Structure 1
Amino acid sequence: MAAGVSPPTPTLPGAIDWSAPWLAPWRARGQPVAQQVQGGSPVGQALQAAVRGAAPVVFAAQSELPDGVAYEQYIWDTRRVPTRDNLHDFFNGLVWLHFPHTKRRLNELQAQAIAADGVQAVRGPLRDALTVFDENGALLQAPDALWDALRARDWQRLFIDLRPLWGQARLVLFGHALMEKLVVPRKSMVAHVYQAPAAINTVAREGIAALDAWLALEVQPDTWAAKPFTPLPVLGVPGWWPANEAPQFYADAQVFRPPRAVPSP
């Protein structure tokens, strides 16, 4: 393979390293599903077997999606999620299992926009924001000092000066495309992060459910159309990648980019 060329992302769950710190919230339910897929079960069938109690959707074969019908509209109308046998849809299903209320809310707003405007060549601001978070989003609970440094893109302060404060922070991935990409981690991977209240105890067994209930109410068209997200290079998070123990890890301006210059009036 040529220098500088990233290896292709595997297509099935057998390549997942479940010891990765970003997969800690997903491991207990995700690893058994992955094992079923490795044993020959279709991804949708394995996900459906992991459903506990009442669920907002059923995982179905991709072939159920009729030609010409928008994916999000089909899910809203039928409560069935067409699922392919690949990593992308595997992680999408895991997010449905852990964040069912938020996923249903995102789907509702997508379907409403499609019903109002049809499927356009370019998504409108709200659909674009919903898709960005659905594919690449994350939730960060952190002290205000970390948030101030993150929003300022003051990487030195965020990751070096304030490094001890990361012991009080927790980053929970949401975007299924981001989790798919992290199967083969690369320094340049960036999450679109939304601020979550520190009061929610995400370490407890019910923590993700509490985050889900909170986030489903947070997703409102008037605020989310503005993309209220902050970019965060995820492998810079202390404890997430061994190389970031060295301060020079953060000197890469191609990844840890300085703030955009504000043009003079």
Structure 2
Amino acid sequence: MTLPAIDWAQPWLAPYRADGEAAARAVAHGDGSVATALQRIRQASAPDFVRQEALPAGQAYEAHIFQTRTVPTRDNLHDFFNGLVWLAFPQAKRRLNELQAAEIARDGIGATRGALRDALTLFDENGALLDAPPALWRALAARDWHTLFVGQRGLWREARLLLFGHALLEKLVTPRKPITAHVLLPVHGETGPAALDDARVAAALDPLRLEHKPFVPLPVLGVPGWCRDNEAARFYDDPQVFRPLAGRGIPGP
């Protein structure tokens, strides 16, 4: 496999850059297998990465990971980023897998996932974590985009947004303004750097809480420093991307 060009200097890739560049080199100079490349750089806390053929026909992907502690991996960008998140957040990813596997064991695989599996999948694919001052959290929860990104722009120097979802990271290889993350709301209003810690994230993944989808949408290219165009305030005058809460004129995402 040949990976597409990835701009590792992009700010949203900073948490994954060291492992990502190492894995990309391993893909390029090894046998071309993403699983082999990830396995070469994995730490003891991460699962083993195996080729997709290791997943038996008819076996649920999440159930297989739970039972074997191995991650079947295809040779594509989606699974490449999934592996990088496993390396960076092994406890949180394992917690997601445990919850998915328990739901599958209870209900099987059906046409619909159910509220909990929907929330688990949403966070796994498109989730993000935010450490930010309370004023930014209030503006984000209210979808008050002008306050969040213009009026309180200076506060972003005290904030850190970390993208967790591997599908989200994949989409941002080709950045587009509408790309939106689902930010996990803090537990009991707790914020600070610990909110981005692997163990704390895993502990926050409580099934009863997740069933209520405790997420708020955030168009990631609105983050100061993440897109040159957003230096102009008019960047945010786009109601198809920066949507207000439902009931304020345009339905929210």
Same fold by TM (over 0.5)?
Answer: yes
Equivalences for 1:92-171 in 2 at 5 Å?
92-171=82-161
Structure 2 counterpart of 1:214, one-letter code = R
CA distance in 1, matches of 2:3, 2:132: 31
Query: Cα deviation per residue 1:62-100 (whole Å; 9 max; x = unaligned)?
Result: 001011110000000011100001000000000000000
Give the unaligned 5+ runs of structure 2.
249-253
- Seen in structure 2, the aligned counterparts of structure 1 residues 72 and 239 have a Cα distance that, compared at 3 Å, is same
Query: Does residue 1:175 correspond to 2:156, yes or no?
Result: no
Do 1:191 and 1:231's aligned partners in 2 also have CA atoms closer than 8 Å?
yes
CA distance in 2, matches of 1:14, 1:231: 28
2:42 corresponds in structure 1 to: 51
How far does residue 14 in structure 1 lie from its aligned partner after superposition? 3.8
CA distance in 1, matches of 2:174, 2:135: 31
- Seen in structure 2, the aligned counterparts of structure 1 residues 12 and 191 have a Cα distance that, compared at 3 Å, is farther
Match of 1:259 among 240, 245, 249: 245
Query: Does residue 1:200 correspond to 2:193, yes or no?
Result: yes
1:205 corresponds in structure 2 to: none
Do 1:14 and 1:38's aligned partners in 2 also have CA atoms closer than 8 Å?
no
Structure 2 counterpart of 1:187, one-letter code = K
CA distance in 1, matches of 2:152, 2:193: 22
CA distance in 2, matches of 1:42, 1:161: 47
* Partner secondary structure for residue 171 of structure 1: strand
Match of 2:54 among 64, 89, 102: 64
Do 1:56 and 1:79's aligned partners in 2 also have CA atoms closer than 8 Å?
no
Query: Does residue 1:240 correspond to 2:230, yes or no?
Result: no
Query: Cα deviation per residue 1:137-164 (whole Å; 9 max; x = unaligned)?
Result: 0000001100111111111111000000
1:220 corresponds in structure 2 to: 206
* Partner secondary structure for residue 139 of structure 1: strand
* Partner secondary structure for residue 39 of structure 2: helix
Give the unaligned 5+ runs of structure 1.
1-10, 203-207
1:8 corresponds in structure 2 to: none
- Seen in structure 2, the aligned counterparts of structure 1 residues 68 and 201 have a Cα distance that, compared at 3 Å, is closer
Query: Cα deviation per residue 1:183-213 (whole Å; 9 max; x = unaligned)?
Result: 00000000000145543269xxxxx6xx101
Structure 1 counterpart of 2:99, one-letter code = L
How far does residue 57 in structure 1 lie from its aligned partner after superposition? 1.4
Match of 2:64 among 58, 67, 74: 74
Query: Does residue 1:42 correspond to 2:28, yes or no?
Result: no
Task: Indicate the percent of aligned positions where both proteins have the same amino acid.
Answer: 59
Do 2:90 and 2:198's aligned partners in 1 also have CA atoms closer than 8 Å?
yes
CA distance in 1, matches of 2:194, 2:116: 29
Do 1:13 and 1:90's aligned partners in 2 also have CA atoms closer than 8 Å?
no
Q: How many pairs does the alignment contain?
A: 245
Structure 2 counterpart of 1:199, one-letter code = G
CA distance in 1, matches of 2:138, 2:191: 15
- Seen in structure 2, the aligned counterparts of structure 1 residues 201 and 224 have a Cα distance that, compared at 3 Å, is closer
Segments ≥4 residues shifted beyond 6 Å: none
Do 1:192 and 1:231's aligned partners in 2 also have CA atoms closer than 8 Å?
yes
CA distance in 2, matches of 1:195, 1:164: 22
How far does residue 12 in structure 1 lie from its aligned partner after superposition? 4.8
Structure 1 counterpart of 2:108, one-letter code = G
